[in-house]
Amino acid sequence: MDISLNWERNAFLGGITNTYELAEFQFNELEPVAEGMLFFDGLPDTGLVGTIVAHHLVGAKKMSPLVRIDSNLLPPVAVVKDMDLFEPLSVYRSGTLAVLTSEIPIPTEAVKPFSRELTSWAARRKLRAIISVGGLADPRRPETDKPEVLYITNSPETFSSQVDLKGLKPLASAFLAGSKAAFLLDCYRAKLPTLGLFVQSFLNYPDPGAAASALDALNNVSELNVDTSELVKSGEEMRLRYRDLMRRTMGEMERAQKSRELETPSLVV
């Protein structure tokens, strides 16, 4: 990495304390990233479950932007809010919690490079643990009032004191596809303590009910303890608000072979 070029870019962009630049993605840090943070992945996926949780956390905890992420692999889209202009892919912070969220789905071609470089950033910044929440499409979801939560972890000792893993069902044998699959795989490979929560949800409809179930399961994690009643109360409004993001995410999910999640792996050892 060319340090002088980096300095010039930082001076030009203003307010950025550090740019962690890898092959494809730039992580523009707006303030120093403390060690030992809990990282929550809320990238758009099945039922937008993780994204709804992430947005709820950002709003409920009044989180501030920590990292803005940019890449040539992302479409040239900017978000406008209160005369501010920023990248759609951001990490927000409150105390020791860092939440990754996005206003756009990650294009399928960018999923693997982004996942690799995000994991590299997470390891470099010595994050304490990773929690990734997603939906698991289930055709029986319309008849279900309390969606089931399944989990996968490479470090039960890290999470069992705060998450009642015995009360959840382990994800025993399944295919995962898309951004969650790539990120979990990279976190496992990098040996970062990781918990993946997958909630029974709609495939193609935003699912605030499934998001509330995920947050209820994480309620004892001090950083993630928020009131979920608002998610249920304003669920119908949310389903409308997330309609466009859901439609865009559906396109990317189709390209990421999301239907594999309905298949069973053939390797039995």
Q: Which residues bind another protein (CB under 8 A)?
A: 108-109, 142-143, 202, 204-206, 235-241, 243, 246-248, 251, 255
Burial of 115 (0-12, 13-18, 19+ CB in 10 A): buried
Q: Which residues of 119-140 are buried (b: 16+ CB within 10 A; e: fewer)?
A: bbbbeebebebbbbbbbbbbee
Smallest gap, in angstroms, from Cβ of residue 204 to another protein? 6
- The CA-CA-CA angle for residues 117, 255, 267, to 5°, reads 80
Phi-psi domain of 126 (left: phi exceeds 0; alpha: psi -120 through 50; beta: other): left
Least separation, in Å, of the C-beta of 74 and another protein? 13
Q: Largest Cα–Cα distance of the chain, in whole Å?
A: 59
* Nearest distance in Å: CB 232, another protein: 11
Q: CA-CA distance, 150 to 214, in Å (whole number)?
A: 9
Q: How far is the CB of 244 from another protein (least distance, A)?
A: 8
CB of 240 to another protein, least distance (A): 5
Question: Of 139 and 265, which CB lies nearer to another protein in the complex structure?
Answer: 139
- Give me the least distance between CB of 236 and another protein, in Å please: 4
Residue (44 or 193) nearer to another protein, CB: 44
The distance of closest approach from Cβ of residue 224 to another protein in the complex, given in angstroms and rounded to an integer, is 25
Name the residue nearer to another protein (CB basis): 66 or 238.
Answer: 238
The token pair that represents 162 in the structure block:
């705060």
Evaluated on CA atoms 128, 206, 164, 229, the torsion sign reads positive
* Closest to another protein by CB, 153 or 213: 213
Alpha-helical (H) ranges within 129-218 are: 156-159, 179-189, 208-217
Planar angle of CA 90, 26, 123, nearest 5 degrees: 80
Select 55 or 239, whichever has its Cβ closest to another protein. Answer: 239
Which residues are CB-contacts of 46 (< 8 A; sequence separation ≥ 6)? 134, 135, 136, 137, 178, 201, 202, 203, 253, 258, 261
Please give the Cα distance from 185 to 46 (Å, whole number): 18
**Mutual angle of helices 49-60 and 208-217, in 10-degree steps:** 70
The residue among 142 and 265 lying less far from another protein, judged by its C-beta, is 142
Give min distance, CB of 238 to another protein, in A.
8
Give the DSSP H or E segment for 83. Answer: none
Compare residues 109 and 227 and give the one whose CB is closer to another protein: 109
216 vs 237, beta carbon nearer another protein:
237
